[in-house]
Structure 1
Amino acid sequence: MDLLTRMSLALAYVEDNLTGEIDQEALARIACCSSYNFYRMFSFITDISLTEYIRRRRLTLAAIELQSSNVKVIDLALKYGYDSPVSFSRAFQTLHGVTPTEARAGSVTLKAYPRISFQISIKGEKEMDYRIESKEAFQVFGYEGIFKTDGSGLKADILHDNAVHQSNPHEMWNQNHANGAYEKLAADAGDLPPFVSPDLCRIHGVCDYKQTQPGTFVYMQCAFRSKNSRIDGYTVTDIPAYTWVIFPSKKFKWGKVVEVVDNLNKRFYSEWLPTAEYEQANGINLEVYSGDSDMGYVELWYAVKKKV
């Protein structure tokens, strides 16, 4: 089953459950990937998060029902997943610009967000550089965080017991730069292993390398483990042998790192993967960094396998 078919089936499940609970495990089974990886693919392909898409679709359907029936606002709120009429009315007004009462009265402009459909769009606007490499199993170690797919933070596993609630891995990087944890990990990293370029930085990122609770994903700010690495106090994880498709960036100012990584992810999911002879082996991917104090460079590694 190809990527676009799996995405369409998963989205059909979402649409069928807009008035009920969207089971993250069911979503992952349909999409044949982790729920987090589906969230990532969806956001990079559509330029909107799945959470926001669900919110807009529910409020679109609620507006239609509000104007075409005598349903009570409290019943409508519960139907579309809101705890109270107040929270529903607030969300409704944020999206539509009017309250549910004003919408029911008529003669107001409302917003409608139609269902998304997936299809291949042939752009060809810019070439994509990539290479495919097979690597033996290796280990990484560092600071692990468990995050929610909806962006709300969970506690991360930071050294010195100074963890705080962070909403995304970018906040983990910022915190670790601020509190000295980044520099400690770099000092403990040791030599780079022989299967990577000697020009790399010591600190990288790895995502979705193990299964977590539904609605969450795992991310580690990490170093490659080598013979002289000091791993005491860190989380250590095994990365199995895989074939990797590797997408390199151009050099960039470090202030643009999030934009660069997001753009590479978007092109991988929306342009390369739908038409390639490969599919993801699982959701795992690495952010491998290089550069100096002024300019950065990143490669995104995705574990892949040949389509059968």
Structure 2
Amino acid sequence: MISTLNRLVDLVEEHLVEDVDVDTFAKMCGTTEYHLRRMFSSLAGMPLSEYVRRRRMTVAASDVVRGESDLLSIAVRHGYGSTEAFGRAFRAVHGAAPGDVRRDGGPLRSQPQIRFRLTVEGGLPMHTRIVDRQAFRLVGHAARVPLIHHGVNPHIQRHIAALPAAEHLRLKALSDTEPAGLLAVSDDLDPDFPEGTELTQLHGVAIGGDTPVPADLDTIEVPAGRWAVFRSSGPYPQTFQTTWAATATEWFPSNPWRLRPGPALTAILAHAADFRTATCELWLPVEPV
């Protein structure tokens, strides 16, 4: 996967003013666009689309500063149909308009070309199991929330806090299949995983495909497939978020599995009274490479 990501970076560089066909490239490399984008975002700390935009504007800045072409010509050369669209993209990266940079010589924020390297540390034991599951359902209360990579997500906190205590007990009573108990479900995630984009967050439980669903609950149908289950224990949510990040930096690069589209499930198996520590399981849908 590391070599594939570096080949993707090279491909982006070769076609910087064009849209790279990531799906075709992924298939040629024996993987999927979904998995490739998720791994890029997790390892690079930014979506692939954002990296491409930053690289385009880094190269475009040189043309702007040199002043050998008018701004419209530079915009077209770098894949933009108007100076307005080019100006918006340029300002988003550099914090200044192209005309101001041409006049003042800056400010400029360069994006170096990324190179991925696998560093073997072994500092974080990955307690993992692979589970085959028949089709099941996730039922509960869903809301659209923004994605936050670090710390507690206050939008999810408010969503769960708005539910009465009796509703949590009712949901737990409905649970009849693994993963057991109350679950935090993240669905409809953008493959690029950009922070701030919306996803569906469901507070609920897993039930069998034949179990009746109460009419007042939201439902996510989950097809049959395999899951990688990662267990973490320690300060919450820091240890859990570190484990989630390590799936991309350590586990997937060194194991013959890749992500497939589907919800990510979090089961809290045990926790301190104040929730400062917790033992959790992260369920990620996977398929063999």
TM-score (norm 1): 0.68
Q: How far apart are residue 266 of structure 1 and its match?
A: 2.0
Structure 2 gaps of 5+ residues are: 192-196
The counterpart of 1:224, out of the listed 200, 206, 209, is: 206
1:11 is aligned to 9
1:289 to 2:267 alignment = yes
Q: Structure 1 pair 93/135, CA: closer, same or farther in 2 (3 Å)?
A: closer
Cα distance between partner residues in 2 of 1:94 and 1:181: 43
Q: Give secondary structure in 1 for the equivalent of 2:173.
A: coil
Structure-2 residue corresponding to 1:129: 126
* 1:193-251 per-position Cα deviation (integer Å, ceiling 9, x unaligned): 3544xxx5412315469x9xxxx997562421047663435324134142x43222223
* Structure 2 match to 1:147: none
In 1, the alpha carbon distance for the partners of 2:200 and 2:258 equals 18
Structural mapping, 1:83-94, within 5 Å: 84-86=82-84, 88-94=86-92
1:180 alignment partner in structure 2: 163
182, 186, 189: which one aligns with 1:202? 182
Identify if the C-alpha distance between structure 1 residues 218 and 193 changes in structure 2 by more than 3 Å, giving closer, same or farther: same
2:176 to 185, 193, 198: 193
TM-score normalized by structure 2?
0.72
CA 74–175 in structure 1, closer or farther in 2 if over 3 Å, else same: farther
2-structure distance, mates of 1:81, 1:207: 33
Measured in 1, the distance between the counterparts of 2:64 and 2:7 equals 28
**What percentage of aligned pairs have identical amino acids?**
19
- State the match for 1:58 in structure 2: 56
1:250 is the counterpart of 2:233:
yes
Aligned partner of 2:247 in structure 1 is 268
| RMSD of Structure 2 on Structure 1 (CA) | 4.0
2:194 aligned residue: none
8 Å CA contact 2:65–2:105 kept in 1: the answer is no
Distance 1:176 1:16, change over 3 A: farther
Aligned to 2:47: 49
Pick aligned residue for 1:235 from 199, 210, 219: 219
Q: Secondary structure at the match of 1:111?
A: coil
Return the alpha-carbon distance in structure 2 between the equivalents of residues 92 and 110 of structure 1.
10
Distance in 2 separating the partners of 1:306 and 1:23: 23
Q: Which moved more, 1:178-187 or 1:56-65?
A: 178-187
Alpha-carbon distance between aligned partners in 1 of 2:165 and 2:185, rounded to the nearest angstrom: 12
Map 1:60-99 onto structure 2 (within 5 A): 60-68=58-66, 70-80=68-78, 84-86=82-84, 88-99=86-97
Contact in 2 for aligned 1:60/1:111 (Cα 8 Å): yes
286-295 or 114-123, which deviates more: 286-295
CA distance in 1, matches of 2:219, 2:181: 19
1:47/1:281 CA distance change after superposition, 3 Å: closer
Is the 8 Å Cα contact of residues 203 and 223 (structure 1) preserved in structure 2?
A: yes
Letter in 1 for 2:207: R
Provide closer, same or farther for how the CA distance between residues 119 and 306 of structure 1 changes in structure 2, counting only shifts above 3 A: same
Paired residues in the alignment total: 272
Q: Does the 8 Å CA contact 1:143/1:220 hold for their aligned counterparts? A: no
Q: Secondary structure at the match of 1:122?
A: coil
| Matching residue of 2:281 | 299
1:79–1:286 distance in 2 versus 1, CA, 3 Å: same
Preserved CA contact (<8 Å) 1:280 1:302:
no
Q: d(CA) in 1 for partners of 2:146 and 2:171?
A: 26
8 Å contact kept, 1:28–1:38? yes
Question: What 5-or-longer segments of structure 1 have no aligned partner?
Answer: 145-157
